[in-house]
């Protein structure tokens, strides 16, 4: 696939030959962790057919990503050590990335969900045990980042650090991971940061040379969330960088994570998309509560899933 870069005016994403690229993503956080090859093919063919250009996915997932194996019985790390990635696990990641690329889809690849770097124990999606899921430090984050950079150097991927957690106090860990990825892939891929709800990558990292474009998360807290204001804030930062809403309200999720408040509908999702794009974003992300977690009856839903 053609590699992506930032446009000369620093407002958009383009292919390496200068053609406009619109980041239209679907949220599939659990695809590597929960789908086998056949299910991944069915899903990706569906999304390619609908005109999506990007699939957002996580290598070490939120839902017990270091303790529960993928459909083939493999864990991502040996002994929970980011410096020892499990090659056989990443063969399945390879398969999904290659399949997505063959269908014209880029993979916005999160190396890890954010709670493996930052954990305060009080998030609404808290683990059912008191064991901290934090496994990353500066040293192993750089090694892991370099491993991923080398492995996917020639693939159609976009690096997305973060994973829905604050960066406060762990900024050096994310910097180290970004440095590792740059060392591994030679700087051939764009990098951004997926922030906590209501926040932007621009708050902690806008001035960082590795941050190619900003991502904010307008989130799931209320209906008619004026995400265009978040887009405007990032659009006006200097130096200029593209911006998009990487996690607006998900279709089917309970408003403020509570089904008693009603659930977000396709109408809510369209509002978020129109406000974001006309606000100046370089793309937009769709999400469905059942799809992002690849929910099936055999899984306990992490949050209210609406219609499966």
Distance CA 260, CA 192 (A): 34
Q: Which two tokens stand for residue 304?
A: 């209210």
Please state, for a pLDDT cut of 90, what percent of the chain lies above it. Answer: 89
- The helix or strand, by DSSP H or E, that contains position 31, with its residue range, turns out to be helix 31-34
Q: Of 227, 228, 168, whose CA–CA distance to 193 is shortest?
A: 168
Is residue 210 predicted with pLDDT exceeding 50? Answer: yes
Segments making up each domain of the chain, as ranges? 4-292
Q: Say if strands 4-6 and 191-194 run parallel, antiparallel, or are unpaired.
A: unpaired
pLDDT confidence tier of residue 297, bands split at 50, 70 and 90? confident
Q: Are 113 and 64 in contact (CB under 8 A)?
A: no
pLDDT confidence tier of residue 304, bands split at 50, 70 and 90? low
According to DSSP, residue 4 is labeled E
Determine the pLDDT at residue 130: 59
Please give the average per-residue pLDDT across 95-99, as a whole number: 98
Determine the pLDDT at residue 127: 55
Distance CA 66, CA 115 (A): 11
Q: Of 195, 263, 266, 264, whose CA–CA distance to 234 is shortest?
A: 195
Q: Bridge-partner residues for 124, per DSSP?
A: none
Class of domain 4-292: alpha beta
* 95: helix, strand or coil: helix
Determine the pLDDT at residue 132: 80
pTM: 0.96
Distance of CA 251 to the CA centre of its chain: 17
* CB within 8 Å of 244: residues ≥ 6 apart: 23, 213, 214, 215, 216, 231, 276, 281, 282, 283, 284, 285
Average pLDDT along the chain = 94
Is residue 279 predicted with pLDDT exceeding 60? Answer: yes
Distance CA 166, CA 176 (A): 16
Determine the pLDDT at residue 308: 46
């Amino acid at each position: 696939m053609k590699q992506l870069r930032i446009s000369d005016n620093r407002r958009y994403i383009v292919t390496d030959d200068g053609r406009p690229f619109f980041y239209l993503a679907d949220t599939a956080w659990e695809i590597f962790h929960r789908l086998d090859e056949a299910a991944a093919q069915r899903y990706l063919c569906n999304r390619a057919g609908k005109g999506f250009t990007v699939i957002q996915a996580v290598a070490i997932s939120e839902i017990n990503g270091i303790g529960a194996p993928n459909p083939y019985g493999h864990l991502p790390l040996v002994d929970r050590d980011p410096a020892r990635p499990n090659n056989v696990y990443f063969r399945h990641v390879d398969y999904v990335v290659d399949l997505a690329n063959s269908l014209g889809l880029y993979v916005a690849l999160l190396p890890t969900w954010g709670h493996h770097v930052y954990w305060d124990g009080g998030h609404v999606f808290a683990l059912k045990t008191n064991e901290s899921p934090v496994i990353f430090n500066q040293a192993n984050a750089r090694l892991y980042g370099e491993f991923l950079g080398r492995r996917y150097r020639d693939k159609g991927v976009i690096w997305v650090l973060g994973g829905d957690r604050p960066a406060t106090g762990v900024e050096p860990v994310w910097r180290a991971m970004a440095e590792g990825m740059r060392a591994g892939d030679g700087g051939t891929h764009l990098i951004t940061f997926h922030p906590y709800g209501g926040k932007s990558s621009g708050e902690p990292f806008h001035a960082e040379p590795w941050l190619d474009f900003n991502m904010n998360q307008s989130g799931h807290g209320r209906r008619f969330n004026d995400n265009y204001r978040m887009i405007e804030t990032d659009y006006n930062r200097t130096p200029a960088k593209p911006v998009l809403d990487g996690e607006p309200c998900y279709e089917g999720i309970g408003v403020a994570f509570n089904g008693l408040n009603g659930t977000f509908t396709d109408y809510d999702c369209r509002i978020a998309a129109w406000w974001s794009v006309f606000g100046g974003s370089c793309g937009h992300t769709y999400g469905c509560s059942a799809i992002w977690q690849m929910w099936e009856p055999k899984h306990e839903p992490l949050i209210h899933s609406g219609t499966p």
